[in-house]
Amino acid sequence: MSRRKGENKTPPMKKISGVIEGAGEVVDQKIASTIVENFMPYAMSVIMSRAIPEIDGFKPSHRKLLYTMYKMGLLTGNRTKSANIVGATMKLNPHGDSAIYDTMVRLSRGYEALLHPYVDSKGNFGKFYSRDMAWAASRYTEAKLDPICNELFRDIDKDTVDFVDNYDNTMKEPTLLPASFPSVLVNINTGIAVGMASNICSFNLREVCETTASLIRNKDHDIISTLPAPDFIGGGQIIYDEASIREIYKTGRGGIKVRAKYEYDKKNNCIDIYAIPPSTSCEIIIEKIIDLVKQGKAKEIADIRDETGIDGLKITIDLKRGTDPDKLMLKLYKLTTLQDNFSCNFNVLIGGVPRVLGVKELLEEWIAFRIECIRRRTYFDLNKKKEKLHLLKGMKEILLDIDKAVKIVRETEEESEVVYNLMIGFGIDEVQAEYVAEIKLRHLNKEYILKRISDIDNLENEIQDLEAILASKQRVKTIIVKELKNVAEKYGQPRKSILLYNVEESTESFVEEVPDYPVNLFFSKEGYFKKITPQSLRMSSEQKLKDGDEILQHFESTNTAELLFFTNKCQVYKAKVSEFSDTKASVLGEYIAAKLQMEEEEVPVKMFVTKDYKGMFVFGFENGKVAKVPMDAYYTKTNRKKLLKAYSDKSKLSDVIWIDTDKELMLTSSGGRVLLLHTGAVSIKSTKNTQGIAVMRMKKGQYLESIREYPEGMFAKPSRYRTKTLPALGAFLTDEDSGNEQLSIL
């Protein structure tokens, strides 16, 4: 299909004889119009109708499920099969049964993800803290609404919230639930939308209700005084940092450090972990600890197993004799997710607009929402009572003459005229007359009518009270505070997460103890590395190498040193000597390119050993330039494994050596010329990839071949090879100097 210049929309395609005209043709379309017409509606749908919770604390999928269960009468009575609930929910939620059942599982008591679950479950619903513990199919499990849902649906039939049509316009569903407590903060809620996300931690119900009530009474209430920190279903230990908590309460963003809880079983010499952070799982922790044991970083551990059962979560770590359990746990807190950070992002839809709110702002929005619910409920009750009062006043008129009413009915020839004649006979309106006309014959006695009329005074008092509530915002707030107090008393439970105060930094940090002993380090021309102890080397010093390979470098150092491997791609890979296993001379060793995960076709060309990053590197390039860089330029505070732009890429590297102080070096060109250079003539540069300065001039087709320290006394007349000006060509070796065996020494 063709398109006119400037058109944004694709013309409609015609179907001709079963074939779509233009099918398969590529049509030019502006990327901006594609994003606006296709991607933006999808993004808005995910944000508004799927991933971000609203002020009642629910996403649409949660709300549809719970409302379906409410309409099924599952707030009371017995449980029903989960499959029945899933099937009924599909009338509101146009998704597959699997997605709906997954939603129900996450709201259930059995799954243990929420402080106050909304679904009372029976059967295997899996566990929130286990990645591999799958829940049973919906045909095997049963469920009903938990009693706390009474507070979610209280007065929902009194016009407290708006209702809209479902997706096929056959039913009505609420846009929000009139929760009588701030459910948005009581249970954990996580969602990932397009371009934004939400991650709300849970808080203790009693503390939330008390804080909300205090905020209603005093808008300047200090939130942290009644809501000290979040509370997680798994318990755990929150490392209390008031500054971080206040930041979260103010901005709605921040992190909370949560630790696992454990006990030491002295009898069996093991650690029992029975509470973990909400952001991890048993399997992740166990796999990481096993990995640490394999790496030799947790040698105190003899065995680890998952003993989670009917009594709840339990991870058991068997210890080796003499292990300090508290010290080991500090190490595991540092190296595993037994201590993890819960990232808060209080992103909530307010009036259809996603907003990141602090706790105080969020509670203020909920209070405003709840005030509207109470006002709408009050207005609904007021209208109902006014209607009833109106009817009773009509009945009161009949009390004056019951016989007259009977006579009017009896003497009316047509049924359609009864209401009209009663209206004329007693001076009442049509609604009152209709009500009177429907009174049963058995109720046409003074006793019944007097009982009904006695309610008039009560109704008038109630109507007056309801009107007073609508006229006073303070009365509405008092009702909310009273309801919050009732909810806290009825459903509140003790805090599960323990707060740890004044945790010192030294306790938080862990430095792995590396055994220090002498080692011999070998690096071969083909890139193989060996770490051999002196004892092993004395027993067998004959090195095993691949055909054509040779030992390029040999260092005597200790196990606590660090290694720097310069590669042919101007990069440096850093490693610790302790990361390599002790080996023997009779093995090939470890291939460094694979061990350090170097890039394709990247190979190490030189290795250096250091403990203090003192001294300097001297780089020689084939174009005759020399650069001098301090070794501490390669030091990093963080444990970085790879440094880019480790040396200049303007010319190919000939050689690199390490020197502790400025000294004389011998440079050799491919043409056989030699130049003695004192490194003091080369300025030191802190920039690693400096090009250096021109030192040795090269004839056409020649290049700098090597650079090494000059041993004093090597040449008979060393002044022949020295120069006062740079760059210099250097000089050919004399017969006397060319016979010096030291030239063959690397």
208-264 confidence digits (pLDDT tens):
999 999 999 999 999 999 999 999 998 889 999 999 999 999 999 999 999 999 999
200 within 8 A of 115, measured Cβ to Cβ: no
Cα–Cα nearest to 215, from 207, 252, 486, 254: 207
Residue 669 has a pLDDT of: 92
Q: φ, ψ for residue 396 (rounded to 5)?
A: -65, -35
Per-residue pLDDT tens over the stretch 639-654: 788 999 999 999 999 9
Q: Which amino acid is at 477?
A: K
Q: What tokens does 531 get? A: 């770490």
| Residues of the chain above pLDDT 70, percent | 95
- Of 490, 480, 247, the C-alpha closest to 369 is 480
The whole-number pLDDT of residue 210 equals 96
User: Do 539 and 633 reside in the same domain of the chain?
Assistant: yes
Whether a cis peptide bond, with omega within 30° of 0, leads into 727 is: yes
Q: Report yes or no on 497 lying in a domain.
A: no
- Cite the active site residues: 140
Both 609 and 720 in one domain: the answer is: yes
Compute the distance between CA of residue 77 and CA of residue 73 in angstroms, rounded to an integer: 7
> pLDDT (tens digit, 9 = 90+) per residue, 542-559?
888 998 899 999 999 999
Q: Which of 645, 578, 637 is nearest to 609 (CA)?
A: 578
**309 and 436, same structural domain?**
no
- What distance in Å separates the CA atoms of residue 169 and residue 711, rounded to the nearest whole number? 94
CATH label of the domain that carries residue 287: 3.30.1360.40
Question: pLDDT exceeding 90 applies to what percent of the chain?
Answer: 61
190: which 2 tokens? 């996580």
Please state, in angstroms and rounded to a whole number, the distance separating the CA atoms of residues 569 and 701: 23
Tell me: pLDDT of 443 over 80.
no
Q: Which amino acid is at 197?
A: A
Residue 73 lies in a domain: yes
- Token digits of residue 650: 């303007």
Q: Please tell me the predicted confidence (pLDDT) of residue 512.
A: 57
Same domain? For 378 and 327 the reply is no
Residue environment code for 243-269, b if the CB has 16+ CB neighbours within 10 A, otherwise e: ebbbbbbebbebebbbbbbbebeeeee
Element (H, E) at 306: strand 301-306
Question: At which of 444, 473, 491 does a domain end?
Answer: 491
Please say if the pLDDT value at position 743 is more than 90. no
Q: Is the domain of 441 the same as that of 296?
A: no
CA distances for 528 relative to 532, 537, 559, 745, angstroms:
13, 17, 18, 21
Average pLDDT for 93-109: 91
Query: What's the Cα-to-Cα distance from 96 to each of 90, 144, 173, rounded to whole Å?
Result: 8, 21, 19
Q: Which token pair is 580?
A: 């390599």
Shared domain check, 157 and 82: yes
| Mean pLDDT to the nearest integer, 175-194 | 92
Q: What is the pLDDT of residue 740?
A: 53
Two tokens at 668?
């050799």
Q: For the chain, give the mean pLDDT.
A: 88
Both tokens of residue 613?
A: 């990053």
* Helices marked H in 78-130: 82-89, 97-106
CATH code, domain carrying 547: 2.120.10.90
Q: Is residue 401 part of a domain?
A: yes
pLDDT at 18: 55
Domain assignment of residue 458, yes or no:
yes
* Predicted confidence band of residue 8 (pLDDT cuts 50, 70, 90): very low
- Structural domain contains residue 242: no
Q: Is the pLDDT of residue 742 over 50?
A: no
pLDDT in tens, 345-370: 999 999 889 999 999 999 999 999 99
- Number of domains into which the chain is organized: 4
The whole-angstrom separation of Cα 33 and Cα 442 is 74
Backbone angle region of 597, left / alpha / beta, with phi > 0 → left and psi within -120 to 50 → alpha: left
Identify which has the larger pLDDT, 77 or 398: 77
Q: The pTM is what?
A: 0.68
Please tell me the distance from the alpha carbon of residue 636 to that of residue 273, in angstroms, as a whole number. 36
Q: Is residue 501 part of a domain?
A: no
* Domain presence at residue 486: yes
What is d(CA 359, CA 221) in angstroms, rounded to the nearest whole number? 12
Contact by Cβ (8 Å): 202, 230: yes
Q: For position 391, which CATH number holds? A: 1.10.268.10
Q: Is the pLDDT of residue 14 over 60?
A: no
pLDDT value at 507 more than 70: no
Phi, psi of 620 (to 5 degrees): -115, 130
CA angle in degrees (0–180, nearest 5) for 665-657-551: 115
For residue 51, is pLDDT > 90?
no
- Report yes or no: 185 and 367 within 8 Å, Cβ to Cβ: no
Between CA 409 and CA 387 the distance in angstroms is 24
Q: Are residues 406 and 474 in the same domain?
A: yes
Which of these three, 117, 144, 166, is where a domain ends? 166
Query: Pairing between strand 498-500 and 237-239?
Result: parallel
My answer on whether 600 and 732 are in the same domain is yes
Q: Side chain identity at 441, as an amino acid letter?
A: L
**Confidence band for 405, pLDDT divided at 50, 70 and 90:** confident
Which residues 6+ apart lie within 8 Å of 412 measured at CB?
Answer: 418, 421
Which amino acid makes up residue 481? V
For residue 508, what pLDDT band results from cuts at 50, 70 and 90? Answer: very low
Cα distance between residue 645 and residue 686, in whole Å = 13
pLDDT band per the 50, 70, 90 thresholds, residue 404: confident
Shared-domain flag, residues 473 and 612: no
Indicate if 485 and 383 belong to the same structural domain. Answer: yes
Query: Which residues constitute the domain of residue 386?
Result: 369-491
Q: Provide the pLDDT confidence category of residue 19 given band limits of 50, 70 and 90.
A: low
What is the pLDDT averaged over residues 311-335? 90
Q: What is the pLDDT of residue 93?
A: 87
- Domain limit, last residue, from 124, 147, 166: 166
CB 59 within 8 A of CB 193: no
Tell me the C-alpha distance between 343 and 279, whole Å: 9
Residues 454 and 579 placed together within one structural domain of the fold: no
**pLDDT tens, 21-31?**
767 777 777 88
**pLDDT of 506 strictly over 60:** no
Question: Hey, what long-range contacts does 131-136 have (CB within 8 A, 24 or more apart)?
Answer: 131/281, 131/282, 131/283, 131/284, 132/283, 133/308, 135/105, 135/110, 135/111
Q: Mind listing the pLDDT tens digit for each residue in 126-164?
A: 998 988 888 999 999 999 999 999 999 999 999 999 999
Query: What confidence tens digit (pLDDT) does each residue in 610-619 have?
Result: 999 999 999 9
Same domain flag for 286 and 396: no
